[in-house]
Structure 1
Amino acid sequence: MTSQSTTQNTDQSTESGVVNVQTVLNESPFSGFQWVIFALCFLIVLLDGFDTAAIGFIAPSLLSEWGIDKSHLGPVLSAALFGLAFGALSAGPLADRIGRKTVLIIAAVVMGGASIVSGLVHSLEGLTIWRFITGLGLGAAMPNAITLMNEYCPDKKRSFITNCMFCGFPIGSAMGGFIAAWMIPHFGWRSLLIVGGVIPLILAVIMIVMLPESVRFMVLKGYSADRVRKVMARISASTRNATRFVLDDNAQRAAEAKQGPQGLRLVFSQKYLVGTLSLWVTYFMGLVIVYGLVNWMPVLFKEAGVPAGQAAVIAALFQLGGVGAIFVGLLMDRWNANLIIAVGYFLTSLGVAFIGQVLGGSVGSLVAAVFVAGLLMNAAQSSMQALAAEYYPTECRASGVSWMLGIGRFGGIAGSFLVAELARRHVELPMVFIVVAIPGVIAALALLVKNRYAGGAPKSLAGLGGGH
């Protein structure tokens, strides 16, 4: 009865010339046009994962070719993460002003060009500088891809579709390991960075032609009905005669959205502050684990006696486990997303600690432990983007998501330096993995705080001054 009433209201709105874009997205089949958006955003995130992980897989080659100690790798391993942080912190607010598509294209060009130059340098200092610049592009790309995809999703499948798209990141990271195991012996470590730079430049050209701006952003910013209609008509033919597009049927709530705080002001407002801080802590702690392991597992496994090529492949399995986020996305669309992801982080801490216990034993046990820990870790971490995008409204979604990613990147930096310090102190390998596992417990606790005091904030600005 409710569905029939909603459909009748949509038809009446279309006939009157006024169309609610989210209602159309909710009630229309996922179109081929939306699949194109999905594919482009998926590729952006995949390249992000490939490039971010590449430096970890070339680390053993750097040690031998340049004759440096592994303790000196901290700055170069973390350089891209600093860039990722600053790129995300600046790109989100910028995208909430000028649009998601423009920032995405600029980000792809920056990360592609800088990655190519990274593959041509001949000093640790030069590599560190250009990895930082690559990170600026990477940091700007991911939150905008997530935001853009999220704003073309129907409500009932939002987390599932966003998580499927974000699976490109762990798949890209895993591809980096498999490709590195083949390319580095044949063409050297530089080839990995050059390939990781050429493809984003090609993708940038494709996005200029095929990628639309976020339709929700266009409506929020008052773009012409003609421009919005050209996009919406490719999703649903029922919008071809529309004369006006809205985000909310309630005129008062729509007015509040335009007159209320936008961007970072809204992210830090009383209504969203607890949730914002909880998301930051969770993502920060998750990336302590991810980058502490992704950047150092090939080196640690080699130290434990695993051959270099085999170590890269086994380490790549940790990121391949990110496909588990698809299943978690289905659960998030049906039940309490905060609690589901919190359980994932707690189980991750157990899985990571277990890797250290089987290291030095059979290869089969190590492969299984790495894959299971990666499945749990990436299913939880890859779901955070969807959780943040769902938590914030259109008025500040890019800012909210990008600042979570940006602040979280410092966790990646901390993770890289944490393992470097443990290696410098010659801590036994099983204890290294136990220490790296502890942030998983902290991440789970932060989500419990969000669930208790912030929950899932409404997607409009109605009642902004009230509590949750």
Structure 2
Amino acid sequence: MSARPATSIDVQQFIDLQPLSARQWLIFAMCFAVVLLDGFDTSAIGFIAPSLLGEWGVARTALSPVLSAALFGLACGALLAGPLADRLGRRALLSVSVALFGIACLISSQAGNLTELTVSRFVTGLGLGAAMPTAATLMNEYCPKQRRATLVNLMFCGFPLGAALGGFLAAWMIPHFGWRSVLVFGGVTPLLLLIVLLLAMPESIRYQVASRHAGASILRTLSRVWPYAAADLRPDTVFTLTEQSAVSKQSEAGALSSGERRGLRLVLSRDYLLGTLMLWTAYFMGLVIFYASINWMPILLREGGVSPAHAALISALFPLGGVGAVLCGYLMDRFNADRIIALCYALTAVSMAAVGQALGHVGLLILAVFCAGVLMNTAQSSLPALAAAYYPTQGRGTGVSWMLGIGRFGGIAGSFLVAELGRRHFTFGGIFATVALAGVVACLALLIKYRGRSGAPNDPLNRVTVNG
């Protein structure tokens, strides 16, 4: 009597067919918390900046290195994280990243001068820069295809919510406990989250198959995430992964060549290069807007006659608007994602210009800031899901993290842009009109990416097989 043949399972199809399990929701919660803390720690320096001006007696322009130090770290961390995540795995890198930015943020709370604070904020940025793209990649690889953009966008709502939380907490904590308390909170919380990550976060199934891990290891992970569905799988099950990509298959030989590439070689290959450059451009321009606003809006509002408490609260409305990303993710799962996000950037440009004309009218200012935040953060929070869908598993970590890393230089540019515009005596309205132009460029970049696609999405590139 012949032996029964081994069962073959495509892990992405397996994920697509299962209802969301309790462990998947826990993975979502952990990734959401990572992104939330990223938003909090990244924006915290902007909210404590007015206190630094008073306590240390420095000029506003002297804060530019401090405001930008974490952004340099974010860029470097993201550029390093992608290739490491594609080679070493998502789980370990995420845990190390969270530990790094938690410890560094605690150290920054004890800084005694601008130099010490600048150095510690750079190290904080290294951890933050590695954590966000790794969380985005891991979450994407645990999502069913039909709900992927919705769930990843929902996860990225954590960033603007974390930034808004920084504003609300700063408005309360600084008068009662001083500016250092904000950084202490931003350091202790990630270290508590690290304990949960070490105990409960599994490695990505798709990464394990793409990296040809042992079948027994893959089966153990499946059993942790979907215990009932995986209970009937045999030890000799053959695990496969048929990659899907937003790039069309040019030829059988071209598909094989793409499938053999990994990391940056794949991301910058001929089939992906145009889309990669346009994703970098869009994310760069989006962060010009975000950090120009989040770092300088409290100071600009105070100089415009708004009270310090009201300036912090109004500024906190800008990142709070990121909750619109959930609706955008729903639309991205059903319609063309490039055009939907491009429209959000176009409307962002209009609303940012409107913020510059609303000074002196508190009601209109609040409405304009909130609308600008909804549109800008919706677009920006949607780009990681767009990038994750664009690249196959062998290059997804690098593709997402390099988009985030290159984009972080936009945050640096945004911070220095406002400083330079202020030095040139631009008015409040002139500053925001100039920043709004970045939204136009981001819109055009995504339209070019859409028009430059050579074929229909979701053509298979390659198939990876792992025997049990």
Residue 305 of structure 2 corresponds to residue 298 of structure 1: no
Residue 211 of structure 1 aligns with an amino acid whose one-letter code is: M
Which residue is 1:245 aligned to?
239
Instruction: Confirm or deny that 1:232 pairs with 2:222.
Output: yes
Cα 1:323–1:15, aligned 2, differ >3 Å: closer, same or farther? farther
Kindly report which structure 2 residues correspond to 1:274-423, keeping only aligned pairs within 5 A, or say none.
Answer: 274-361=274-361, 363-423=362-422
Residue aligning to 1:6: none
Residue of 73, 79, 85 corresponding to 1:83: 73
Q: 2:98 aligned to 105, 108, 122, which one?
A: 108
How far apart are residue 237 of structure 1 and its match? 2.5
Structure 2 SS opposite 1:245:
strand
Aligned residues of 1:260 and 1:461 also touching (Cα < 8 A):
no
| 1:161 CA drift (Å) | 0.5
Q: What is the CA distance between 1:244 and its match in structure 2?
A: 2.2
Which amino acid is 1:246 matched to? T
Cα deviation, 1:239-280, whole Å, max 9, x if unaligned, reads 332422111299x99x94896111110000000000000000
Cα offset, 1:15, TM superposition: 8.6
Report the counterpart of residue 131 of structure 1 in structure 2.
121
Residue from 85, 91, 95 that aligns with 2:85: 95
3-state secondary structure, aligned to 2:335: coil
Contact 2:242 2:462 in 1 (8 A): no
Query: What per-residue deviation string (whole Å, max 9, x for no partner) do you get for residues 34-74 of structure 1?
Result: 00000000000000000000000000000000001111111
1:368-390 CA-partner distances (Å, limit 9, x unpaired)? 11001100000011000100001
- Partners of 1:188 and 1:459 in 2: CA distance: 55
Aligned equivalents of 2:227 and 2:359: distance in 1?
54
Instruction: Find the counterpart in structure 2 of residue 159 from structure 1.
Output: 149
AA matched with 1:235: W
For residues 265-307 of structure 1, give each alpha carbon's deviation from its aligned partner in whole angstroms, at most 9, with x where no partner exists.
0000000000000000000001000000000000001011111
Look up the match of 1:24. 14
Inter-partner Cα distance in structure 2 for 1:339 and 1:261:
29
CA displacement, residues 137-172 of structure 1 (integer Å, 9 cap, x when unaligned): 000000000000000011111100100011000000
Q: Secondary structure at the match of 2:426?
A: coil
Q: Distance in 1 between matches of 2:389 and 2:360?
A: 43
Q: TM-score, normalised by structure 1?
A: 0.93
Find the aligned partners of 1:442 and 1:130 in 2 and give their Cα distance. Answer: 33
CA distance in 2, matches of 1:325, 1:151: 19
Counterpart for residue 40 of structure 2: 50
CA distance, structure 1, for counterparts of residue 282 and residue 289 of structure 2: 11
Alignment of 1:114-125 (within 5 A): 114-125=104-115
Q: 1:457 Cα shift?
A: 5.3
Query: Whole-Å Cα distance in 2 between the matches of residues 238 and 50 of structure 1?
Result: 38
Q: d(CA) in 1 for partners of 2:211 and 2:181? A: 43
Instruction: Evaluate the alpha carbon distance shift between residue 330 and residue 71 of structure 1 in structure 2; reply closer, same or farther with a 3 A threshold.
Output: same
* One-letter amino acid of the structure 2 residue matched with residue 54 of structure 1: A
**Structure 1 stretch 406-415 or stretch 424-433: which is displaced more?**
424-433
Q: Residues of 2 paired with 1:329 and 1:221: CA distance?
A: 29
Deviations 1:66-105 (A, max 9, x none): 0011111111000000000000000110000000111101
Secondary structure, aligned partner of 1:248? strand
Aligned-pair distance for 1:397? 0.2
Q: Which moved more, 1:226-235 or 1:80-89?
A: 226-235
CA contact (8 A) 2:38 2:128 kept: yes
Contact between 2:318 and 2:374, CA under 8 Å: does it hold in 1? yes
**Farther off after superposition, 225-234 or 290-299:** 225-234
Maintained 8 Å contact 2:258/2:461? no
Q: How does 1:443-454 map to 2 (within 5 A)?
A: 443-454=442-453
1:375 and 1:425 map into 2 onto residues whose CA distance is 30
The superposition leaves residues 199-243 of structure 1 with CA deviations (integer Å, 9 ceiling, x where unpaired) of: 111111210110001110011112122221122123262333242
Whether contact under 8 Å (1:257, 1:395) holds in the other structure is no
Distance in structure 1 (CA, Å) of the matches to 2:204 and 2:257: 17
TM-superposed CA distance for 1:460, in Å, is 4.2
Aligned-partner Cα distance in 1 for 2:259–2:371: 48
Q: How does 1:178-217 map to 2 (within 5 A)?
A: 178-217=168-207
> Secondary structure in 1 aligned to 2:357?
helix
- Structure 1 vs Structure 2 CA RMSD: 1.9
Provide the C-alpha distance between the structure 2 equivalents of 1:379 and 1:168, rounded to a whole number of angstroms: 12
State the partner residue of 2:247: none
- Structure 2 residue ranges without an equivalent (≥5): 245-251, 464-468
Q: State the partner residue of 2:272.
A: 272
Q: Which amino acid aligns with 2:34?
A: I
- Judged with a 3 Å threshold, the aligned counterparts in structure 2 of structure 1 residues 249 and 354 are, in CA distance, closer, same or farther, namely closer
Write the distance in 1 (CA, Å) between the matches of 2:240 and 2:457.
21
Q: Which moved more, 1:240-249 or 1:165-174?
A: 240-249
Q: Which letter does structure 2 place at the counterpart of 1:36?
A: L
Normalization by structure 2: what TM-score?
A: 0.93
Cα distance in 1 between the residues matched to 2:206 and 2:448: 30
Q: What secondary structure is seen at the aligned counterpart in 1 of 2:461?
A: coil
SS in 2 for 1:295: helix
Tell me how many residue pairs correspond in the alignment: 447
Q: Which runs of 5+ in 1 are unaligned?
A: 1-13, 464-468
Tell me the residue number matched to 1:175: 165
Give the direction of change, closer, same or farther, for the CA distance of 1:15–1:22 in structure 2 (3 Å limit): farther
C-alpha change, 1:175 and 1:259, in structure 2 (3 Å) is: closer
Q: Structure 1 residues 270 and 458 mapped into 2: Cα distance closer, same or farther (>3 Å)?
A: farther
